[in-house]
A and B are shown apart, each in its own frame.
Chain A
Amino acid sequence: MELDFLSAGFVSALFAIVLIDLVLAGDNALIIGLVARNLPKNTQRKVIFWGTFGAIAVRAVMAILVVYILDLPGFMLAGGLALVWIARKLLTPEEQGAQNHLVKGPATSFAGAIRTIVIADAVMGVDNVLAIGGAATGNVLLIVLGLAISVPIIVWGSQLVIRLVDRFPSIVLLGGAVLAWTGYSMVVREPLLGPWFEGHPATRLVAAILIFSISLAPWYTARMAEQTKPLVVILPGVLVWMLAFEIVASVWTLQMDYLRATETGEYVLEAARWLGWLPLVAAYLWLHERVMLRREHAARS
């Protein structure tokens, strides 16, 4: 999709990239500090410089790769699904103790320190680069701008970002919603699925609600009462059920429109589509209830 410089679409995509950079920024300064803490003072300065340089270089290479990879059939869908997972991970609170798993311990040599910093940044930056690639819709200028925004955050901006998200935690929620929206637009832009979505326009709405309900589940689960929490599984489950029937109908060219059904088999299929999920939901609720009761019993004894 071509976006004119400073058009509404361009500015919107740039805003999405800034938001993604803010919420998915990795803590490189902490990792560099942890890795370099046992090295001599002279080597520490070199490690900070070359570590930062290596991290930026790795991010630039990944950004270039993402532009080409997302053009390949199937990768847009995979990227969109990965963004759904990233949005979920972003909104799920993490324990403070689980923070330094990327760094096993302080490095003892210059090469070891640089290697650890670069690998850690590559691991931390994959989600960021993928999300920027998705939000940029293939526009190279936007990807360069996204990189230009994320680099100062890597080098100097960490404290500013922490202060900002600490003051306005809703930025994180908004970031999760924008990631889900980007994931949805990547899934519907997938060249392999394009003709299918054209033929089944209603499935786009189902896909959008499915993606939002999965991505934002940690958010609304926190607001729900214990008895209504199974809805977090049931709603996406029913949407997947409906989508599966659409897919089966187009793969086996079955008649799925109840207004056009004429044979008994078609009516049975329709009944299975609209009512078949009810016994599954009932079985899930029964199982959920049993598990909850068992847990309660175990907690008491």
Chain B
Amino acid sequence: MLLIRQSNRANNAVRTTSVGGELFVASVVICMILASFGDAVDPALFGEAGLEFAIFDFGGELSVLAMRHWHLLQLLVAGAVLGVGLAVLRVGAAAVVKALRPADRRAEEKVPIRL
């Protein structure tokens, strides 16, 4: 029997883990899959037109190819950065959506107007 089974929270980690922890692990998994994407592309394909691809790498697809040699620690750091980026994006998007949401019709008259 594993030690983690002794702790109810750890035994049930898929449900008890925090939102931040889950976002971090999900970001690490995304980075791991991106690293395997680098593995999946034959570098010889880019040998012929390397510069052209490098100039038009708007989507960053080629930059991802560099991740093929990344180690676990690099993937963890990248996952942490991606996780923080996604969290910031979420907070920003929530603020924008909140600002754009129209006031309730019944509360229209009560909207304070500061002069």
Contact = CB atoms under 8 A, between A and B. Distances in A.
Interface string B76-97: 1000000000000000000000
A142 B10 CA distance: 27
B65 to A, nearest CB: 11
Chain B interface bracket (under 10, 10 to 19, 20 to 34, 35 or more): 35 or more
A52 to B, nearest CB: 15
B28 interface: yes
B7 A162 contact: yes
- Size bin of chain A's contact surface: 35 or more
Nearest to A173: B25
B63 interface: no
B3 A25 contact: yes
Contacts, number: 151
A124 B1 CA distance: 7
B2 interface: yes
Interface stretch (A41-49, A59-67, A94-102, A279-287): A94-102
Contact of B40 (A12, A162, A169, A205): A205
A170 B21 contact: yes
Interface stretch (A177-185, A231-239, A270-278, A289-297): A177-185
Contacts of B36: 184, 204-205, 207-209
Interface stretch (A75-83, A106-114, A211-219, A258-266): A211-219
A200 B61 CA distance: 19
Interface string B30-74: 001100110111100000000000000000000000000001111
A173 B21 contact: yes
B30 to A, nearest CB: 10
Interface stretch (B12-20, B98-106, B107-115): B12-20
B17 A173 contact: yes
A141 interface: no
A143 interface: no
A27 B21 contact: no
Nearest to B11: A93
B29 A212 contact: yes
Contacts of A12: 71-74
Contacts of B32: 177, 180-181, 184, 208, 212
A25 B2 CA distance: 6
B14 A170 contact: no
Given A205-B36, A208-B36, A170 B17 contact: yes
A16 B2 contact: no
A239 B14 CA distance: 24
A206 B33 CA distance: 10
A170 B25 contact: yes
B9 A166 contact: yes
A177 B25 contact: yes
Interface of B: 1-18, 21-22, 24-25, 28-29, 32-33, 36-37, 39-42, 71-76
Interface of A: 8-9, 11-13, 15-16, 23-27, 30-31, 90-91, 93-94, 96, 99-102, 124, 153, 158, 161-162, 165-166, 168-174, 177-178, 180-181, 184, 188, 201-209, 212, 216, 218-219, 221-222
11 contacts: A27-B5, A91-B13, A162-B3, A165-B7, A169-B18, A172-B4, A174-B28, A177-B32, A180-B32, A181-B75, A209-B36
